[in-house]
Amino acid sequence: MVESPTATMTISTKGADSDDPTAPVEKQPLLDEEQTVTFVHTTPITSRIRRTIRHLHATAGFTARWRGLYPATVYNLATGLSFAFGKEALDSVFPSLACVSEYLVGALVAALWARLHCAWTHAVIAAPSAKRLSQRVPPAAAWRHLALPAVMAELAALSSANLVRILAAAVVASSSSRSQGDASWIVLAGLAVPISALLLAVFCVLPNVIILTRLEAFLLPDDDDTIVPFDRALRASVDGPTLRPRDASRGFGWQAFRIVCKTYVKLFFILVGLVVVAVHVLALEAVLIVGPAAGTLLVAGQEQLKRRGLL
């Protein structure tokens, strides 16, 4: 999301043969000589996960891949507690707003902790330094640059999650009224939920996350350098004009968006693989420990889930 495209420019002049040692050396080429300018686009470092990890290790050491773990823990803990207490208080004081309290509290919490999220981003994209997390929090003047993009990203995530949840509930309700033999409709309805989730993630959630991340990168202090190539001309001043969401498109093209989407798809399949392996390991342990009764416990658990309407 932050890496700027780079290219190497070469200028070749059509003139004297450079292989001839006796050829005269001209300091300035004639105006009528033909010059060819060639741009060779460099492959982005973040185009592949392995290449990114190798670059992180070479630049910041083996522990660089976990450099954002502490800021992420602090941010998620702060926002999670604020959201839980805020929603509970709003629902108890204004019960009539229960249907929209999630959006109101989510937007307020995202705006409240926008500077902490910016510090998290800076800790991840900046080159290694001795700065603590508290030193990376931008000044209060930066809040006006970050509040709106943070709220947009939070509302996009909440809206997408709720739309997928409503669609899944509608599919389950419709499937129960259909006949068991209508397999084609059940398959199409089952595919509608993941496809909708994918489209919302790519065209609604991800663009807002990219806008927020790039605007935060623009606010990186001048004494910090990025761990990947980043056009410093795109930097913004905290006291300068308020950044707009469309400013995030500066230096970010279709190729960069495609790389981000591919990275998220790879991470999704990596997580799915880890979950599958973990489930099989736990199932094997259950069989070894419990024995033949593991199947009976599994069936009993499925029955409990069906009674509660979760299956």
Prediction pTM value: 0.78
C-alpha span between 306 and 311 (Å, rounded): 5
Q: What does the mean pLDDT of the chain come to?
A: 81
Position 32 scores a pLDDT of 46
- Residue 11 CA to residue 35 CA, distance in Å, equals 7
d(CA 213, CA 150): 9
* Mean predicted confidence (pLDDT) in 186-198: 82
How far from each other are the two terminal CA atoms of the chain, in whole angstroms?
A: 38
| pLDDT at residue 205 tops 90 | yes
Single out the residue of 220, 227, 224, 267 nearest to residue 58, CA to CA.
227
Average pLDDT in the 288-305 region? 73
Which band of pLDDT confidence, cut at 50, 70 and 90, is reported for residue 284?
A: confident
What is the percent of the chain with per-residue pLDDT over 90, rounded to a whole number? 33
Strand partners, 11: 37
What per-residue confidence (pLDDT) applies to 159?
Answer: 94
pLDDT tier at 283, thresholds 50, 70, 90 = confident
Q: Is 240 a residue whose pLDDT tops 70?
A: no
Pseudo-torsion of CA 144, 146, 152, 157, nearest 10°?
A: -150
Residue 112: Cβ-neighbour burial (10 angstroms; 0-12, 13-18, 19+): middle
User: Going by DSSP bridges, is the β-strand pair 35-41/7-13 parallel, antiparallel, or unpaired?
Assistant: antiparallel
> Would residue 251 be called left, alpha or beta, if left means φ above 0 and alpha means ψ between -120 and 50 degrees?
left
Return the pLDDT at 7: 55
pLDDT at 208 over 90: yes
User: Which tops the pLDDT comparison, 156 or 194?
Assistant: 156
Q: pLDDT, tens digit, for every residue of 126-151?
A: 888 888 999 999 999 889 999 999 99
Element (H, E) at 119: helix 114-125
Residue 229 has pLDDT above 80, yes or no: no
Q: How confident is the model at residue 30 (pLDDT cuts 50, 70, 90)?
A: very low
- Residues present in the chain in total: 311
d(Cα 130, Cα 133) in Å, to the nearest integer?
10
Report H helices in 220-292.
Answer: 254-290
Structure-block tokens of residue 47: 């185009």
| Among the ranges given (113-122, 137-146, 261-270, 291-300), the one the predictor scored with the smallest mean pLDDT | 291-300
